[in-house]
């Protein structure tokens, strides 16, 4: 109990410091080190067959950005892709470099191709060198993406036969060496196997909701069965939901494929299904996704319940094609230049109330930490303003308790399966 209480000021302090400052402050930089990928997911604009301009960020560009991050006090750096581990020696060198600079929170992940070389699950002798190299790196969080509870569906979509068996074999090896990978689900219409059909008629809403409840439930069950102790959910990234017809998306994962294209009505139901499913699994697996964010996203008045997205204010994205920084992966029409240090004075709108998309990497922490920023800046509004929604506040407090109980999702710590919290909705 004492440890939890001691972590509370640290959590609040970090958040408050990061979000109370008036200027742009990079708290998190997502660096797309490559947009090459060896996966074939039809719902992703970077799949291996896609005809896009491919690029790797030069190592020197990444090192410069990392030095800037360390000097500017950036708390978290994520290496994303494409497939970030497509060049394993290269990313391990970059991670070591970032570790030497003492950047506190380093994250990256993989589509798992190395666990299924040659189209079948790898043997232990093939897995162990990779696992040991990742464990030895300074990564705090390592994710492995899985997009369906159904093994055949996931492997067919990704074009990586054998990958689920390989991952399941690798997980105990990671755990024995002290790293606890997170499974990363990108929401799509095949999360449970067969395609969940689009919602055509208003009367079909209950069936659509139930399909997604079952799908999420099947997914978390599968994740636990595979041996994962941590999970994250990425919200759909489609043009329609992103409402970016006039913008120029920087992050190539955005797609208009039916697999990830949802109407706003469908999206609200998807978020509701996830909101209603997660509580039953929070004791079985650590799930990052804050319920307060899902509650807000599932409501028609979501704008009143969401704290402003901090993309372009505290969080930034660096694109592999030009090494330039953008407010996020979506606002590709706002080039903020190549220097992290120059962000404080960079021109361009801060758009504190941007709600063009639901990029989970920025939406979830903005909701979770936005409260601290809000309390510091508008203390009376918390009691009397538009964010005063009892259910949202209740879920937000339960999220904070859960995050503390989960050691702030430290991927170097095991899951203490007995979390003594109530999470009923």
Of 262 and 362, which CB lies nearer to ligand SF4 in the complex structure? 362
| Rounded Cα distance, 377 and 372, in Å | 9
Mind giving me the DSSP string for 150-215? Answer: SHHHHHHHHT-TTHHHHHHHHHHHHHHHT--PEEEEE--TTTTSSPPPP--SGGGHHHHHHHHHHH
Task: Select 275 or 328, whichever has its Cβ closest to ligand SF4.
Answer: 328
Task: Catalog residues that contact ligand SF4 under the rule CB under 6 A.
Answer: 37, 39, 41, 44, 46-47, 81-83, 111, 145, 158, 253, 309, 311-312, 327-328, 330-331, 354-357, 359, 362
User: At its nearest, how many Å lie between ligand SF4 and the CB of residue 137?
Assistant: 20
Please give the Cα distance from 233 to 237 (Å, whole number).
Answer: 12
For the CB of residue 287, give the shortest distance to ligand SF4 in the complex, in Å. Answer: 20
Query: Which CB atom, from 82 or from 279, has the smaller least distance to ligand SF4?
Result: 82
Give the residue among 87, 74, 59 at the shortest CA–CA distance from 320: 59
Looking at the Cβ atoms of 83 and 319, the one nearer to ligand SF4 is: 83
As measured in angstroms, the least distance from the Cβ of 184 to ligand SF4 is 9
Instruction: Quote the least distance from Cβ 47 to ligand SF4, whole Å.
Output: 4
77 CB-contact burial (10 Å; exposed 0-12 / middle 13-18 / buried 19+)? buried
| Torsion sign over Cα 127, 132, 137, 141 | positive
Residue 204 vs 257, nearer CB to ligand SF4: 257
3-state SS assignment for residue 78: strand
CA–CA dist 221, 192 (Å, integer): 11
Nearest one of 238, 235, 248, 423 to 331, comparing CA atoms:
248
CB contact at 8 A, 411 and 181: yes
Structural tokens at position 15: 């958040």
> Which CB sits closer to ligand SF4, 158 or 282?
158
Produce one character per residue of 30-40: b if its CB has 16 or more CB atoms within 10 Å, e if not.
bbbbbbbbbbe
Q: Residue 326 is inside which H or E element, if any?
A: strand 325-326
Q: Which is nearer to ligand SF4, 311 or 370 (CB)?
A: 311
Nearest approach in angstroms of CB 83 to ligand SF4 is 6
Residue among 76 and 354 whose Cβ is closer to ligand SF4: 354
Burial category of 315 from C-beta neighbours within 10 Å (exposed 0-12, middle 13-18, buried 19 and up): buried
- Whether the bond between 82 and the residue before it is cis, its omega within 30 degrees of 0, is yes
Cβ at position 219, least distance to ligand SF4 in Å: 16
CB of 239 to ligand SF4, least distance (A): 12
Could you tell me the smallest distance in angstroms from the CB atom of residue 343 to ligand SF4? 14
In the bound state with ligand SF4, the residue whose beta carbon lies nearer, of 144 and 400, is 144
CA 188 to chain centre: 15
Question: Least distance to ligand SF4 from the beta carbon of 81, Å?
Answer: 6
Structure tokens at 196: 């969940």
Q: Cβ(32)–Cβ(82) under 8 Å?
A: yes
In the complex, minimum distance from the CB of residue 34 to ligand SF4, in angstroms, rounded to a whole number: 10
Q: 217 or 320: whose CB is closer to ligand SF4?
A: 320
Distance of CA 251 to the CA centre of its chain: 14
């Amino acid at each position: 109990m004492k440890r939890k209480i001691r972590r509370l000021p640290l959590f609040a302090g970090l958040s408050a410091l990061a979000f109370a400052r008036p200027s742009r402050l990079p708290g998190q930089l997502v660096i797309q080190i490559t947009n090459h990928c060896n996966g074939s997911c039809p719902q992703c604009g970077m799949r291996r067959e896609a005809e896009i301009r491919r690029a790797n960020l030069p190592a020197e560009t990444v090192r410069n950005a990392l030095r800037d991050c360390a000097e500017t006090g950036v708390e978290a750096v994520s290496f994303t892709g494409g497939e970030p581990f497509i060049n394993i020696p290269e990313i391990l060198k970059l991670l070591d470099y970032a570790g030497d600079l003492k950047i506190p929170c380093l994250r990256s992940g993989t589509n798992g191709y190395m666990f299924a070389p040659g189209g079948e699950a790898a043997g232990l002798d093939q897995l162990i060198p990779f696992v040991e190299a990742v464990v030895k790196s300074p990564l705090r969080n390592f994710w492995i993406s899985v997009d369906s509870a159904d093994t055949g569906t996931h492997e067919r979509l990704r074009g990586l036969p054998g990958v689920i068996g390989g991952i399941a074999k690798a997980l105990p090896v990671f755990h024995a060496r002290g790293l606890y990978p997170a499974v990363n689900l990108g929401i799509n219409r095949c999360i449970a196997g067969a395609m969940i059909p689009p919602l055509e008629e208003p009367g079909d809403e209950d069936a659509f909701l139930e399909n997604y409840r079952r799908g999420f439930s099947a997914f978390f069950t599968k994740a636990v069965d595979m041996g994962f102790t941590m999970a994250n959910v990425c919200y759909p990234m489609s043009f329609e939901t992103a409402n970016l017809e006039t913008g120029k998306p920087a992050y190539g994962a955005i797609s208009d494929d039916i697999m990830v294209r949802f109407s706003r009505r469908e999206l609200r139901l998807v978020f509701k299904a996830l909101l209603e499913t997660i509580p039953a699994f929070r004791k079985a697996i650590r799930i990052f996704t804050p319920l307060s964010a899902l509650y807000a996203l599932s409501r028609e008045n979501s704008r009143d319940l969401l704290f402003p997205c901090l993309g372009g204010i505290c969080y930034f994205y660096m694109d592999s094609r030009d090494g330039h920084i953008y407010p996020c992966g979506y606002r590709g029409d706002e080039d903020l230049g190549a220097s992290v240090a120059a962000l404080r004075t960079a021109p361009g709108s801060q758009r504190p109330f941007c709600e063009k998309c639901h990029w989970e990497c920025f939406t979830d922490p903005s909701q979770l930490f936005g409260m601290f920023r809000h309390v510091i800046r508008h203390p009376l509004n918390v009691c009397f303003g538009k964010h005063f929604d009892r259910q949202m506040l209740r879920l937000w407090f339960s999220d904070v308790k859960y995050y503390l109980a989960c050691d702030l999702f430290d991927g170097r710590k095991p899951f203490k399966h007995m979390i003594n919290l109530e999470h009923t909705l």
